[in-house]
Chains A and B, each alone.
Chain A
Amino acid sequence: MFDRRRMMQFSAAGVGTLAASGWMNVLADAAKSSPAKATGKVKNVILLWMDGGPSHKDTFDLKPESKGAGEFRPIKTSASGIEISEHFAKLATWMNHGTLVRGMTSPEGAHARAKYNLHTGYREGAGGVTYPSLGSIVAMEKGRSETPVPNFVSIGNRSFGSGFIGPKYSPLIITDAGRGLEDLKSVAAAKAQTNRLDLLEQMEKAFFHDYQAGVITDHSTAYARAVALMNSKEAKAFDITQESAAAKGKYGTGRFADSVLMARRLVEIGVPFVEVALGGWDTHQDNFTKVKALSQQVDAAMSALLEDLKERGLLDSTLVVWMGEFGRTPNINTRGEKPGRDHYPKAWSLAMFGAGQRGAVIGKTDKEGATVVDRPVPPQDFLGTVCDLVGIDHTKKNDTPNGRPISIVEKAKPFTAEIL
């Protein structure tokens, strides 16, 4: 049962008519039969993943009067009544194009399981199924079928994969944006390269014929996608050295800045989902020094991104999400000289910009930032909202390899109408 599915995925590996090689033609034929794509106003999503779980009380839900108040002061933003951390001074000017979700509440308090939960909407291990992450779902539902650049790119992070919907929708992972995508140039001349691919294709077919394992298809798929990319002009979107010093400089310096810049270049060529990770938010110790430095990185890169998107007319068709896997304890712990905050999934915040949003707040925590007192938002409601915005029917069911239908998001109550 696996094998037929895998074989179909192999055939539909998501690349167009790019080379004369028979290999490519196999792939192109099936691509033509891709289903019609849903249409939403929003065409792209950039997920800025704050790895480790940022402290909501020190970023977007400050409680200066509370017992466990942080060191930072709140500042006013372009959205009336919304105040955020002083270390988001530039971002504050974009708040009228955003939404703060202050009612996030989720079930997992350990990093790995929480990341899985927030990326997929499901709990790890539930039902014995490996669920697809949001990026893979968007790639499947909104992805362009004739494209050499994968529809899901993850920068600086492994992220989560495509699960049961198959390797066609798995992310292209860029570990270091500064170095871009390496080894794109073939070592052989064009004619020899075509011959090589033909030889390889024959070997792959023969091996699959005998052994029929899904991992063979996965290998062939990765190779086919790599070859498509080598042959494409769009591959230069991965080369941020093509940006001027000024254009680059406003994003800040370092890997995160480079990654966000690359995300913009990818959205410009139509990649529907780009995830960028910024690690370091697991601030059990020395919370305030770390959160301040991280916030400043976010402030520069994210506001530069929003500005560039606006200039290019892409802000309304792009959703930019800032989030991690949970929040952090309302109280400050007692670890050592420089204390911090520990994991806290019960009440936390995320922020979204672009996509026609206009400065709303969803959900509210109590005066300590410890409990959601109004409009709790479980991960499903957030994921359902993202689906709404990009025009994906979140109630749609996809079949697992065993034929079990699984909703894209289960029991979602989106808040889409409240933010547009």
Chain B
Amino acid sequence: MRSYRVIALILFSAAAVGLSRPTWAVADDAKTKAAQKFELRKKLKEAADAKRKAESAQPAKATQPVEAAKPVDTKPAVKLPAVLTPAALAKFIDQQIDARLKAESIPASERTTDAEFLRRVSLDLTGTIPTGDEAKAFLDSTASDKRERLVATLLASPNYGRHLADLWTTKLFPRDSDNRFVLKDPLRDWFAAEFNKNASWAEMTTKLLSTTGDVETNPEVTFFLANRTIDKLTDAVGTHFLGQSVACAQCHNHPFTTVKQTEYWELAGFFSKVVADRPRNVNKGGDNNKIGVKEGFGPSKAKDFFPEAAIKTSPKFLGEATPKFADREPYRPALAAWVAGPNNPYFAKAMANRTWALLFGRGLVEAVDDMKDSEDASHPELLDALALQFAANKFNLKDLYEAILLSEAYQRSSKPLPSNAKDDELYSHNRVKVMLPEQLYDSLQVLNATALAALPPAKGKGEPKAKPAPMRGGGNQRDQFVTFFLAGSETANQAEYEAGIPQALKLMNSKANLANFPNAFRAFFKPNVKPADAIEAMYLSVLSRRPTADESTRLLAYLDANGRDSAADILWALSNSSEFMLIR
């Protein structure tokens, strides 16, 4: 893989010095491929070169504004390619991935089984496992296009937006004691509704960055209410919308990034007129639906909005021209137009990379929040193409999802072969991912609901309750569960298993898991049901698959030896297994 990077760099440099200057040709022919050097990469490289040149000419001083000449004031718009259908983009993805595997002589694992695919795509798209009935229906379907249909159904499910809303609310609403009175649900609901109606990512971003009003009418103002200092806002824009960690440049010129301290504060300047209300103490009758955000006419006087070390300077885009503002003109719309515009070299790429990372457990650039140059990408051309397609397709996220989901690369099993087990970068087999706490909670709830629906109602006093108690209060209980599983961390990492002993104890022994109710197994093992069918029903509900012949034989013998009630043991083991808690 290293040798490939060298080659990429050579091609890259060649493009930069003008030896080859192809433009983005119409890409409906999937053969237009690696040989094309993408405009975006070139522009990035030129900007980086110019920056380096300026730096070497005039060494940066940490506390003094540096006037680096930026030669990119009059740059042509990126020429966007023709939009490919999701199916055609899926083919392009596979060509790129397969070409690398072939070049490195690494064989690909088999295609997922229907059961693997169903479970993976359900969790990835909607954040929950399918019910046992849904699993059975999908596995038994003989339709040749059942995977395509499943993808379409899941993309249309309200849980699609809810899952994405969970992810984005976590990013834009820091878990912070300053935010204890700020309402989180309005932002989450707003995200869910926007994602579900497939609003353009650029439009959503524009709203988030330039919104004015109160929570009740414009819930997206919550982004400002939950980040009430200029540096938090600036860091969030860099990290979440541009995939560029700019925070270090707040205090000093960071040695590893190209963003300088002055540039940081120039970017921050766009927020300098923001006035975000402080949340009110709900214990004193405060109504935090009524607080909001506006942009004033001068530097914000909101309390503590500017940190001590803030450098107050006029707003300027990263590595680009200084915009001209009329007197009293708001700054944020200009920022939003730049961040979410088709010419921004980072915006589309950040979201394309992030989406890829959610689905594969690894970004094409692994550091999704700190992408730097795309020379770090495992497949730079693929990333650039996905970004350009996303931009050309008006930032249509569902289409991007569909393209990736329909690719053979996504549909590859996570079972490694002896000859590809060591590969962790080229997508010869998929990563086994860790469920986020929200996914685990919702999946447990799917099981819980199945049992609740199937069990007889609780009898009179003195009788043991037949049913597990339904989890009350939705949001609140879910939030508590999530907090417990994060154990103090800001966010969970899908690539690393971070849950520990207290979490295992909770799943093994507490009422959070329906399998810990002695009667829960009866939902699958009613008096008239044969043992083999009960085992199958439990496997379908918990693992979304049927047991193998071996498993079935072994567990029938187990039931035979230990009695009917020992089906509770099987349900317990299934719902505590790593196969249940991981995304295979």
Residues of A in contact with B (beta carbons under 8 Å apart): 1-3, 109-110, 113, 150, 157-158, 161, 167, 170-175, 181-188, 192, 195-196, 199-200, 202-204, 206-208, 210-216, 218-220, 222-223, 225-227, 229-230, 284-285, 333-336, 342
Contacts and interface: CB of A to CB of B under 8 A. Distances in A.
With a 10 A CB-CB cut-off, give which of A214, A226, A285 has the most chain B CB atoms.
Answer: A226
A357 B250 CA distance: 40
A282 to B, nearest CB: 10
Contacts of A172: 500-502
Contact of A207 (B434, B569, B576, B579): B579
B416 A212 contact: yes
A200 B510 contact: no
A213 B577 contact: no
Nearest to B499: A222
A43 to B, nearest CB: 23
Given A167-B497, A195-B566, A211-B432, A203 B505 contact: no
Contacts of B421: 3, 212
B508 A186 contact: yes
Given A199-B573, A207-B579, A223-B508, 11 more contacts: A2-B424, A172-B501, A173-B500, A184-B509, A187-B516, A195-B566, A195-B569, A200-B577, A208-B578, A216-B578, A229-B505
Given A110-B247, A199-B570, A222 B500 contact: yes
Contact of A213 (B247, B510, B582): B582
Contacts of B584: 211
A158 B578 contact: no
Contact of A181 (B303, B505, B568, B577): B505
Contacts of B573: 196, 199-200, 203
A157 B487 CA distance: 8
A336 B505 contact: no
Contact of A182 (B433, B506, B558): B506
Nearest to A207: B579
B504 A158 contact: no
B73 interface: no
Contacts of B489: 158
With a 10 A CB-CB cut-off, give which of A174, A218, A227, A336 has the most chain B CB atoms.
Answer: A218
Contacts, number: 153
A28 B359 CA distance: 37
Interface in B275-312: 303-304, 307-309
A220 B500 contact: no
A345 B378 CA distance: 36
Contact of A188 (B424, B554, B569, B579): B569
Contacts of A150: 501
A340 B224 CA distance: 24
B421 to A, nearest CB: 6
B303 A336 contact: yes
A282 B179 CA distance: 16
A-B pairs, top 6 by smallest CB distance, nearest first, are A158-B488, A218-B497, A213-B432, A199-B573, A226-B504, A219-B578
With a 10 A CB-CB cut-off, give which of A184, A215, A229 has the most chain B CB atoms.
Answer: A215
B431 A213 contact: yes
Taking residues whose C-beta sits less than 8 angstroms from the other chain, chain B's interface range is 35 or more
A216 B506 contact: no
Interface string B505-524: 11011100000101000000
A170 B504 CA distance: 14
Given A200-B576, A204-B578, A222 B501 contact: yes
B562 A210 contact: no
B509 A215 contact: no
A173 B508 contact: no
B497 A222 contact: yes
B432 A216 contact: yes
Interface in B420-476: 421-422, 424, 431-434
Contacts of A173: 487-488, 500, 502
A215 B577 contact: no
29 contacts: A2-B424, A110-B250, A158-B488, A173-B500, A181-B501, A182-B510, A183-B510, A186-B508, A186-B509, A188-B569, A192-B568, A203-B574, A203-B579, A211-B432, A211-B584, A213-B414, A213-B431, A213-B432, A213-B582, A215-B496, A215-B578, A218-B496, A223-B504, A223-B508, A225-B500, A227-B508, A284-B308, A336-B303, A342-B308
A334 B310 CA distance: 12
B177 to A, nearest CB: 8
B308 A334 contact: yes
Contacts of B414: 211, 213
B484 interface: yes
Nearest to A130: B496
A401 B573 CA distance: 31
A180 to B, nearest CB: 10
B377 interface: no
Contacts of A1: 422
Nearest to B551: A206
B239 to A, nearest CB: 12
B572 A207 contact: no
Contacts of A335: 304, 308
A2 to B, nearest CB: 8
A211 B415 contact: yes
Contacts of A182: 502, 505-506, 510
Contact of A192 (B503, B566, B582): B566
Interface in B351-370: none
A229 B501 contact: yes
B481 to A, nearest CB: 13
A333 to B, nearest CB: 5
With a 10 A CB-CB cut-off, give which of B247, B487, B502 has the most chain A CB atoms.
Answer: B502
A219 B433 CA distance: 12
A201 to B, nearest CB: 9
Contacts of A175: 484, 487-488, 502
A222 B505 CA distance: 9
Contacts of A158: 487-489
A335 to B, nearest CB: 6
Interface in B483-497: 484, 487-489, 495-497
Contacts of A202: 554
Contact of B503 (A187, A199, A222, A334): A222
Contacts of B499: 219, 222
Contacts of B558: 195, 199
A200 B500 CA distance: 17
Contacts of B577: 200, 203-204, 207
B193 interface: no
Interface string B239-259: 000000001101100000000
A199 B569 CA distance: 8
Nearest to A185: B509
B451 to A, nearest CB: 15
Given A182-B510, A183-B510, A335-B308, A157 B488 contact: yes
Given A185-B509, A223-B576, A333 B308 contact: yes
A2 B516 CA distance: 34
Nearest to A201: B573
A80 B568 CA distance: 67
B508 A183 contact: yes
A207 B489 CA distance: 28
B581 interface: yes
Nearest to A172: B501
A171 B309 contact: no
B383 to A, nearest CB: 19
B488 A219 contact: no
A334 B304 CA distance: 10
Contacts of A333: 308
A188 B567 CA distance: 12
Nearest to B309: A342
Given A150-B501, A187-B516, A216-B578, A110 B251 contact: yes
